[in-house]
Chains A and B, each alone.
Chain A
Amino acid sequence: MLLIPCPYCGPRPELEFRYAGEAHIARAEDPSLLDDEAWSAYLYVRSNPKGLHAERWQHVHGCGRFFNALRDTTNDAFSATYRIGAPKPDLPQPNDKTDAS
């Protein structure tokens, strides 16, 4: 189980949170202007990186608020959490050669 640092409440166990998918995917201001390719990319295509992933969490059994996090998908370590609306912290990609898989 992960220990997740909520930017409002501090570190809490994973069971208090709900994962809410990749962060920074903005819905188009006017979806009717998108072609099918762009709309399906918005709906379905995700970056799914092996390395740092920007993602949303909700502290559903705590403060109830959404926040964003940067987590390394090769070892599940959180390197930053930040409030919704704040820019994504500019951290270097970890070296994924440490992954034993």
Chain B
Amino acid sequence: MTRYSIASLVRNAFRDHEDWPRVWRSAEPKAAYDVVIVGAGGHGLATAYYLAKEHGITNVAVLEKGWLGGGNTGRNTTIIRSNYLFDESAALYDHAVKLWEGLSQELNYNVMYSPRGVMMLAHTIHDVQVFKRHVHANRLAGVDNEWLTPQEAKAFCPPLNIGAGMRYPVLGAALQRRGGTARHDAVAWGYARGADARGVDIVENCEVTGIRRDASGAVTGVETTRGPVRAGKVGVVAAGHTSVLMQMAGVRLPLESYPLQALVSEPVKPVFPCVVMSNTIHAYISQSDRGELVIGAGTDAYISYTQRGALHIAQHTLDAICELFPQFRRLRMLRNWGGIVDVTPDRSPILARTPVRGLYVNCGWGTGGFKATPGSGQLFAWTIAKDEPHPINAPFTIERFRDGVLIDEAAAAAVAH
């Protein structure tokens, strides 16, 4: 692996940037691996990276039915934050934020993590009470979060309309300064490069069509469109398609898959300094380094695998954006797309062993998995390598639904689902 540095940049500049080596190999699947990860998105690639780096397990394949990072990793609105209500969630997401802070150095790859602040707007008395409760709960849990008046919110984000004539006036905001954004593609590419350099095979265009088990029920490998692959352990990290894959091993999960939409505007000069989320009127917005306003919309009401969403969902979000930021009314939208998100009943992820020996699952991140990518990968690698959960992900089991110990962020995650 070529180490990126100012010296390598200068050296390649003199060669017209024509000699940069490939960032990862295009691997053929071998007959057998110690661990097979299904899904080469950010979470799956991070899992492979940490398996190799922290647990010395390098005989690993990451199988991907499409192309690397082509699912929700490349479709989300790149928001990073950890201001969740419950201690279990705050610990899980804050662990990820701590990894984000050093990730570019860790990977020697610029993931463009930008802690520009995530500001959540309150529009009703109920919002104000809920967000203040969040602020206090977060501070007790050691997670930064602070309450802003409407004037302070406008000072932090000058484009914000706090006028009195709004249908849903801004009554205040909760601000997490360590929150922000990162470049989603770079996260997948950086982890792919790091994993590949440690010997992990990343196999694209290789769809898993079956999960093999022996007479005792334990996993022995997978069937793929490029032939069978034996494996001692299989980790499924397939977002919206997790139900389909787990069904192959006879495991039914409390998951439903919904299309979630996002859209970007035409690029404009830097006009938007932070991330603003409004859950009550449903809008998320930030500006990419390319100048596009990145806007997150909601999920469709019904389950679907179509990777698109209904027009009225996007229009609803744009209505909210135009009220909060009237100056954006004349911007045109450039692209609109959908991703399939797997949603659990309590809106918290499942990151755990399964009832099938040798089969592990990392799913249920719903509408907000990108922010957790580094932490999710590190904890899932631990879970697979040691066959037991790390203390941080120990509460995020499948059995919590049977045992009644939900981590019920459905009402508390400060986002509308």
Contact = CB atoms under 8 A, between A and B. Distances in A.
Given A48-B256, A76-B304, A101-B305, A2 B243 contact: no
A48 B303 contact: yes
Contact of B255 (A43, A46, A53, A74): A46
Interface string B54-73: 00000000000010000000
Given A36-B403, A37-B402, A44 B303 contact: no
A35 B83 CA distance: 36
Interface string B286-312: 000000000000000111111100111
A61 B334 CA distance: 33
B329 interface: no
Interface in A11-27: 14-15, 18-19
A71 B302 contact: yes
Contact of A99 (B243, B302, B305): B305
Nearest to B246: A48
Interface string A42-56: 011111111001010
B79 to A, nearest CB: 23
Contact of B305 (A19, A40, A46, A50): A50
Contacts of B304: 73, 76
B302 A40 contact: no
A14 B310 contact: yes
Interface in B293-351: 301-307, 310-312, 340, 345
Contact of A53 (B241, B303, B311): B303
Nearest to B345: A44
B244 interface: yes
A40 B345 CA distance: 11
A43 B257 CA distance: 17
Q: Could you say which interface size class chain A belongs to?
A: 20 to 34
Nearest to A69: B302
Contacts of A36: 402-404
Given A36-B403, A45-B253, A73 B301 contact: no
B168 interface: no
B252 interface: yes
A15 B306 contact: no
Contacts of B345: 43-44
B299 to A, nearest CB: 11
Contact of A45 (B252, B305, B306): B252
Contact of B254 (A45, A50, A74, A75): A45
Given A36-B402, A36-B403, A50-B241, A1 B255 contact: no
Contacts of B306: 73-76, 99, 101
A41 interface: yes
Contacts of B253: 45, 48
Contacts of A44: 254, 345, 401
Nearest to B399: A40
Interface of B: 66, 241, 243-244, 252-257, 301-307, 310-312, 340, 345, 401-404
23 contacts: A1-B311, A1-B312, A2-B310, A15-B312, A18-B301, A19-B302, A37-B402, A41-B252, A45-B253, A45-B401, A46-B254, A47-B252, A48-B243, A50-B244, A50-B305, A55-B302, A55-B303, A73-B303, A73-B305, A74-B305, A75-B306, A99-B306, A101-B306
